[in-house]
Amino acid sequence: MELIDGIKISNNKIAEIKKRIDEIKNSRGIVPSLMTILVGNNPASQIYIKLKMQACKRVGIKSFHINLDKNSSQKNIIALIKNLNNDSNIDGILLQLPLPKSNYTQKCINAICPSKDVDGLHPTNAGLLNLSKNWDEIIKKNILISCTPLGVIYLLKHSNIEIDGKIVVIIGRSNLVGKPLSMLLLANNATVIICHSKTKNLKEICKSAEILIVAIGKPKFINGDFIKDGATVIDVGINRVVSKLCGDVDFDAVKNMNIKITHVPGGVGPMTIAMLLENTLKAFNNRNM
């Protein structure tokens, strides 16, 4: 087994982002800014917000935070977002998910100005990604892309794992990970298979993967029976079992296999935060071109 070190790769990326922000600050006297919004007091979400704000401080991004009551109405959340859209001091807006009431999640996301949508979930940004022909076009257009999928691509590229022409199986079809990740992989010339809860012969399909990406939210669901010898395994899952975090892959069951793999924690998670910083800088640059 060869471990893909998400902490090391994210630290290198964060150092690069800090350098770019320092250059902007020294030459123009301004820095990017990010507003995070949390509705309610979900403990996991509070931890994620804290980590994001710490990361902003690390690179020199101004971070602001608003915590709304869990009973806040859709109308009130959208009103706040619209005010932030019009605030020239805010470059990026992040609405922490999940919301207490999921039935209006997409409407709230849709209210975020696409140019400030650092989570890359607005239909405009999703559409720009889907319409892009290749990776070079995505980079050239400075598209704001969902942070976790972008982090997965960055992990693969900076671990010298070839994507071009490879068979990639994604387990999970969410708007947050599976769907945008499939577009990013296609833009890098992979052959992509998306699996989900209704997929038949899942083990056999996964066994065909040269790169297997798991994002289903089921603790330790994937074992060695799903994985091809020599494959790369990216575990996107974050699950709390008793007092410990684990992924969707049973790490102990596959650690003696001939594979490259990310660990949970320390794999995709750090890259997600690094890509949030990258998107915030991108949003700043797009608005100040």
pLDDT in tens, 45-88: 999 999 999 999 999 999 999 999 999 999 999 999 999 999 99
Query: What average pLDDT does this structure show over 264-274?
Result: 96
Note whether 153 and 94 are same-domain residues. no
In a domain, 34, yes or no: yes
Note whether 156 and 261 are same-domain residues. yes
Q: 94: closest CA among 48, 54, 127?
A: 48
Q: What is the CATH number of the domain that holds 239?
A: 3.40.50.720
Q: What is the CATH number of the domain that holds 97?
A: 3.40.50.10860
Query: What average pLDDT does this structure show over 26-46?
Result: 95
172-204: pLDDT as tens digits: 999 999 999 999 999 999 999 999 999 999 999
Note whether 171 and 62 are same-domain residues. no
How far apart are the C-alpha atoms of 247 and 236, rounded to whole Å?
A: 7
Note whether 227 and 168 are same-domain residues. yes
Note whether 188 and 238 are same-domain residues. yes
How far apart are the C-alpha atoms of 206 and 186, rounded to whole Å?
A: 18
Domain count, the chain: 2
The residue segments making up the domain with residue 203 are: 146-269
Residue 288 has pLDDT above 90, yes or no: no
Note whether 110 and 150 are same-domain residues. no
In a domain, 6, yes or no: no
Note whether 110 and 211 are same-domain residues. no
Structure tokens at 10: 């994210």
In a domain, 133, yes or no: no
pLDDT for 240:
87
Is-catalytic flag, 119? yes
Query: What average pLDDT does this structure show over 124-131?
Result: 97
Pairing type for strands 239-241 and 244-246 reads: antiparallel
In a domain, 287, yes or no: no
Query: What average pLDDT does this structure show over 196-220?
Result: 96
Last residue of a domain, one of 99, 114, 129: 114
Is-catalytic flag, 52? yes
Reported as a pLDDT band with limits 50, 70 and 90, residue 100 is very high
Note whether 152 and 225 are same-domain residues. yes
Note whether 159 and 263 are same-domain residues. yes
In a domain, 21, yes or no: no
Residue 108, Cα to own-chain centre: how many angstroms? 19
How far apart are the C-alpha atoms of 279 and 240, rounded to whole Å?
A: 28
* Given the residues 13, 52, 220, 260, the one annotated as active site: 52
pLDDT for 241:
86
Q: Hey, how many other C-beta atoms are within 10 angstroms of the C-beta on 27?
A: 8
In a domain, 279, yes or no: no
How far apart are the C-alpha atoms of 264 and 251, rounded to whole Å?
A: 9
Q: Which residues contact 127 (CB under 8 A, 6 or more apart)?
A: none
Note whether 107 and 150 are same-domain residues. no
Instruction: Output the average pLDDT for the chain.
Output: 96
Note whether 62 and 154 are same-domain residues. no
In a domain, 251, yes or no: yes
Note whether 159 and 258 are same-domain residues. yes
* Given the residues 96, 220, 228, 260, the one annotated as active site: 96
* Given the residues 91, 117, 119, 235, the one annotated as active site: 119
Phi-psi region of 220 (alpha: psi -120 to 50; beta: other; left: phi over 0): left
Please state the φ and ψ torsions of residue 146, each to the nearest 5 degrees: -45, 130
Residue 289 has pLDDT above 90, yes or no: no
